Amino acid sequence: MAFDQAAWRVIGATRRGRLHAHRGEHREDAVQGAQWSDGWCVAVADGAGSSAWSRIGSAMATSLLVESVRDACAASSVQERVPLGLRDILERALTRVVNAMRILADEVGEPWRAFRTTLLAVLVHEGQLATLQIGDGAIMLRSVHGTLEHPYAPAVGEYSGEVAHFLPDDGALEVGVASIREDDAATYDLAVLCTDGIEDPWYPLARHGAALIDEWMTGAASEHPSPAGYVRADIGEVITATAPNASCADALATWLTFEKRGENDDRTAAIAWRRRD
């Protein structure tokens, strides 16, 4: 996934993890993005490993959310409109996602939990930025001053892989709505979303996030600490000022082939950065 939208460049990539590849199973992560004249939206999702149709859940969640947001924002850009804030736009989109997942589950005779997925999103529209998160994975925002922000604390259970909330479970919509954060988009020049296939090997991102971004921007090891046992993919920089977005997206997809013992989950990331031209 790759596009330019006025002030921003946006890419996304996803790769099946070794666990699923070894077993001949589907990737359960998904990434989607969309743009319109005044903004863009990107979403990533990770289907629950214990849910039979989670790959459908993650694909639905990302596609429907992004589509709903795009339609609402594009409609709000025409002259005769009822202005909606980003919070309202995201809440309505999330509601649509939950309802659609439940309707599909009911229609095919499966329990809702068969489609379980996390969902993370970043929306930029008319100079405002909003985020939401349900489940694990991570969002990072870099301010124009270089400070990395983490809007959400890691969703940790007692042990690895334990997630408190999934769509379309009861209560997950409320959790997602409560998670919505808004800010001035001018404050930021970079946004990252990733599923836990990246968050876990780089955990905690509060410590290693800077090294991750440096690696994407320079292709080299950073002065900031990288996680122990991490072996980089044979790729240079991912985010460049000059290469076309499609090349950056390919580079990100290659970067996702990094090695770290025991880290075999699907990997998905989306990166949005401000254009300098």
Partner 1 sequence: MSMRRLPVYILADVSGSMQGTPIESVKSGIRQLHRDLLGDPQAIESAYLSILTFANQAQQLVPLTEVALFDPPELTANGNTNFGDGLRLLLDCFDRELIRTTAEQKGDWRPLVFILSDGAPTDVDWPLFAQQLRERRPANIIAVACGDQADVTVLKQVTELVIQMQDMTPDAFKAFFRFVSASVKQTSAKVGAIADGQGITLPPPPPGITIVP
Enumerate binding residues for partner 1 (CB under 8 A): 18-19, 22, 48-51, 113, 116, 153-154, 156-166, 169, 171, 200, 203-204, 206-207, 227-229, 260-265
Closest separation in Å from C-beta 19 to partner 1:
6
Smaller CB separation from partner 1, 161 or 236: 161
Instruction: Kindly state the tokens that stand for 140.
Output: 């990072």
The residue to which tokens 């309202």 are assigned: 88
Smaller CB separation from partner 1, 7 or 148: 148
Q: How far apart are CA 130 and CA 182, in angstroms?
A: 4
Smaller CB separation from partner 1, 35 or 51: 51
Smaller CB separation from partner 1, 22 or 81: 22
Q: How far apart are CA 132 and CA 119, in angstroms?
A: 8
Closest separation in Å from C-beta 93 to partner 1:
23
Closest separation in Å from C-beta 205 to partner 1:
11
Q: How far is CA 192 from CA 128, 147, 157, in A?
A: 16, 13, 23
Q: How far apart are CA 223 and CA 186, in angstroms?
A: 27
Closest separation in Å from C-beta 273 to partner 1:
27
Determine contact, residues 67/34, Cβ cutoff 8 Å.
Answer: yes
